[in-house]
Amino acid sequence: MSTNRVRTAIVALAASAVVCSGTLTGCSISRDDEPDADNGSASSAPTKEPSEPASASPSISPSDSASDSASDSATPAATPAATPSATPSATVARTPEAALLTAAEMPQLNEISRWVERRTGPVSQRPFGLCQRFDLLSIGALSAVERTYASGSDTAGQQVAEFPDRQNAVRAGKVIEAWHRDCASRVRGTGVKVRPFTDVAVPRGKGSWYLVSYERKGTGHFHSLGLVLAGTRMSLIRMDHEGQDHNYEPGMDPMELAVKAVSARLG
């Protein structure tokens, strides 16, 4: 074998050795890098990325905000629900007796005249006031209660009646209005004046009142009657007093104030 062929063979063997060693080195490096890359991606990057957002903001904040929103929504819902349900139960009477005003609740005729309760019980068979012809039981009421008041020689009273239905209560109100139209002919006295019914803005139902004035034995007498209708109930309020006049500021007449107070209670 010639010297050139030997040299060529040696060079070829050396080149192939270098290629093989490079290939093996590349294979060993690529295999060593792949597990490191897998471990890094599984243990470092993926672990930190899901764990940090999940433990910090996404999992804690939504749960806390949800519980906060739930508690916030429960508080306003309970407060309005409790307030409206408590107010009617405290102000609106469930029975006719509970709709009767106390002596302190009945508006006074003046600053010094205070009402005192006299009697509370079933209504009598006598007409209630100057213009009435019959008692409420005689015009369709199922039951009725009455409370009377006094302040010196002045008197007042309130009746609350329960009717079978709303229609009968309205009809009874029409009867009382008819009695009012014929009232002047039944009042004993001179200078009798029967003022028309005056509507009153009330929180519940319908309210109105009128005033009758006359003179007897040189003394002036004033009789006022209030009418309140609410559902199947009716309430009558009367006030009688002596004096030279019956003058109050607009909206401040004791009977008008009484009609408003009874309406708020009657329900």
Give 81-97 pLDDT, tens digit per residue: 333 333 333 466 788 89
* Tens of pLDDT, residues 130-168: 899 999 999 999 999 999 999 999 999 999 999 999 999
Q: In tens digits, what is the pLDDT along the chain, a chain of 267 residues? A: 444 444 444 444 444 443 334 443 444 333 344 334 343 433 334 444 444 444 333 333 333 433 343 333 333 333 333 333 333 334 667 888 999 999 999 999 998 989 999 999 999 888 898 899 999 999 999 999 999 999 999 999 999 999 999 999 999 999 999 999 999 888 887 889 999 999 999 988 999 999 999 998 888 999 999 999 999 999 999 999 998 788 899 899 999 999 999 999 886
Q: Are residues 196 and 105 in the same domain?
A: yes
Kindly report the length of the chain.
267
- Which range of residues forms the domain containing residue 215? 97-266
Q: Are residues 225 and 173 in the same domain?
A: yes
Q: What is the CATH number of the domain that holds 115?
A: 3.40.1000.70
Gyration radius of the chain's alpha carbons = 47
Q: Are residues 113 and 193 in the same domain?
A: yes
> How far is the C-alpha of 257 from the C-alpha of 19, rounded, in Å?
114
Residues 6+ apart with CB under 8 A from 93: 99, 160, 265, 266, 267
Q: Are residues 195 and 143 in the same domain?
A: yes
Q: Are residues 28 and 54 in the same domain?
A: yes
Q: Are residues 126 and 202 in the same domain?
A: yes
Q: Are residues 213 and 141 in the same domain?
A: yes
Q: Among 30, 63, 90, where does a domain finish?
A: 90
Q: Are residues 130 and 196 in the same domain?
A: yes
Q: Which two tokens stand for residue 37?
A: 């890359």
Q: Are residues 81 and 212 in the same domain?
A: no
Q: Give long-range contacts, CB 8 A cutoff, 24+ apart: 198-203.
A: 198/256, 200/226, 200/256, 200/259, 200/260, 200/263, 201/260, 202/228, 202/259, 202/260, 202/263, 202/264, 203/260, 203/263, 203/264
Q: How many distinct structural domains can be found in the chain?
A: 2
Query: Tokens 């209660």 map to which residue?
Result: 145
